[in-house]
Structure 1
């Protein structure tokens, strides 16, 4: 989807180690960027680099709920939003094959490909609409199962995690005009899949069903191989991965930053009191940035892990940032101000 400027890794045996939580340091800064007109209520649910110095954003506009006590008898899921930042302006493209209401949940871009997914159930992380950008519009393609929960594209191909109670398969790769089931050993669910080349890719997620034990696997161009992770005692599945080089791969679980040095995975504790991690990107210098999962106020800022220290990111007051993307010029983020106002930010 977006994770970093570059990506890669190698498969090897992991050593069970962990690092202490580091101290805090000086803050980097993100500043707001004007958005195109969006109907209220609007939200941005994803941001990803477009490979040409700009970004894609996805979300929804025009949602409403007319409340009656705790009920919502009149409700509208809104209309999908996809915009691309080109220079200093935003550009919109047709979403061919879209019908009904709902949001764009994910935008995935890499290796010259851009894909989106969404639909009426997207706010629950289950999408029924998948489309590929052909340079002038998004063209709908058939989903590999009933619901898509993860979408990724890059040099190793285009992949979708799908949930279907009638199927034993959870991961699919786009092969020509169809989807092919992929078996990733040691993972019951693939939450993210990112690659540097066609022969260097990482998949992360969880195993053991309800226990949700973090799990990772590496693809060497021929097959997927499970790579052990440091042991933990609580449910804390692997959410994102960003391969930067063969000996430099970053990831996040809900509670931890993870790093692969070519031989072993290690964990870095989150800043004290920080909520669950929700997103991860890595800037052009190789520095990881994390954003919190969407939660009730007060909002927590993104953090950068630099020189063995956590650095809180300065953002405007009253704004929450939940999604991040690295571009050659710095970092982009999207979130909201209050409950109903979407925001986009960039900086370094």
Structure 2
């Protein structure tokens, strides 16, 4: 198993767990790490977050075996204030990472931009999107290979945003209105062996009280 996170002194850390004796610190980076994903067939690990060195997205790739990985920070397009929140590797030449540019939270949502980066086996590039303001929080792929991204569109604050990439193009759809307020976050996962999806989101005013955040579950297909 692999874990990515941030230490108390704001450094990104990657840990491995061998299932028997405990955790091993694999790699530490100058920034924050939000997510990690592994491709078991190739032994390739991808982790993403925000770099304090560049002030933009941080992408780390590990190759080899746990405990003896070769970790490298991979160059990405200059994206000031960019942060990555999830990564989804499909193959050695098809990796997707998503996030946002700017704060991307609360009243500042309209000041942030959704961000998608793609790796083609040689380099990372930024991918144009049909949504201009908001943030992206989750990514997966269905059985047909289509990419699905979930997040928040600032122009539809009470509906979960779903972006689908099929045949080289993006389409945007929205879930039903959340009952208790604006969407705070969305996570999406595929139903194995099908083109169906489960998604779960948080909404509300976020004050933690009786009228605070609520959870909504959605299903597609």
Normalised TM-score (structure 2): 0.66
User: Is 1:241 aligned to 2:188, yes or no?
Assistant: yes
- Tell me, what secondary structure is at the counterpart of 1:182? coil
Root mean square deviation of aligned Cα: 3.4
- Kept in 2, the 8 Å contact 1:171–1:181? The answer is yes
Which residue of the partner structure matches residue 115 of structure 1?
46
Which residue of the partner structure matches residue 74 of structure 2?
141
Which residue of the partner structure matches residue 171 of structure 1?
116
User: Is 1:88 aligned to 2:34, yes or no?
Assistant: no
CA 1:223–1:208 in structure 2 vs 1: closer, same or farther (change >3 Å)? same
Once residues 164 and 60 of structure 1 are traced to their aligned partners in structure 2, the CA distance between those partners, rounded to angstroms, is 19
Which residue of the partner structure matches residue 260 of structure 1?
219
Q: Map of 1:213-228 to 2, 5 A cutoff?
A: 213-228=159-174
CA 1:142–1:164 in structure 2 vs 1: closer, same or farther (change >3 Å)? farther
Once residues 208 and 84 of structure 1 are traced to their aligned partners in structure 2, the CA distance between those partners, rounded to angstroms, is 37
CA 1:180–1:194 in structure 2 vs 1: closer, same or farther (change >3 Å)? same
Once residues 153 and 112 of structure 2 are traced to their aligned partners in structure 1, the CA distance between those partners, rounded to angstroms, is 17
CA drift of 1:241 comes to 0.3
Once residues 132 and 113 of structure 2 are traced to their aligned partners in structure 1, the CA distance between those partners, rounded to angstroms, is 14
- Tell me, what secondary structure is at the counterpart of 1:93? strand
CA 1:141–1:162 in structure 2 vs 1: closer, same or farther (change >3 Å)? farther
Which residue of the partner structure matches residue 60 of structure 2?
131
Once residues 172 and 120 of structure 1 are traced to their aligned partners in structure 2, the CA distance between those partners, rounded to angstroms, is 15
Once residues 189 and 199 of structure 1 are traced to their aligned partners in structure 2, the CA distance between those partners, rounded to angstroms, is 23
CA drift of 1:103 comes to 4.3
Once residues 201 and 112 of structure 2 are traced to their aligned partners in structure 1, the CA distance between those partners, rounded to angstroms, is 27
- Kept in 2, the 8 Å contact 1:205–1:215? The answer is yes
User: How far does the alpha carbon of each residue in 1:37-74 deviate from its partner, in whole angstroms, 9 at most, with x for none?
Assistant: xxxxxxxxxxxxxxxxxx1122344x3xxxxxxxxxxx
Normalised TM-score (structure 1): 0.45
CA 1:171–1:208 in structure 2 vs 1: closer, same or farther (change >3 Å)? same
CA 1:162–1:79 in structure 2 vs 1: closer, same or farther (change >3 Å)? closer
CA drift of 1:236 comes to 1.6
- Kept in 1, the 8 Å contact 2:76–2:123? The answer is no
Q: Which structure has the larger Rg over C-alpha atoms? A: 1
- Kept in 1, the 8 Å contact 2:87–2:139? The answer is yes
- Kept in 1, the 8 Å contact 2:142–2:148? The answer is no
Structure 1 gap segments, 5+ residues each: 1-54, 64-76, 263-348
- Kept in 1, the 8 Å contact 2:159–2:175? The answer is no
Once residues 94 and 140 of structure 1 are traced to their aligned partners in structure 2, the CA distance between those partners, rounded to angstroms, is 11
- Kept in 1, the 8 Å contact 2:152–2:159? The answer is yes
Q: Map of 1:146-157 to 2, 5 A cutoff?
A: 146=80, 147-155=82-90, 157=95
- Kept in 1, the 8 Å contact 2:61–2:72? The answer is yes
Once residues 216 and 128 of structure 1 are traced to their aligned partners in structure 2, the CA distance between those partners, rounded to angstroms, is 22
- Kept in 1, the 8 Å contact 2:160–2:174? The answer is no
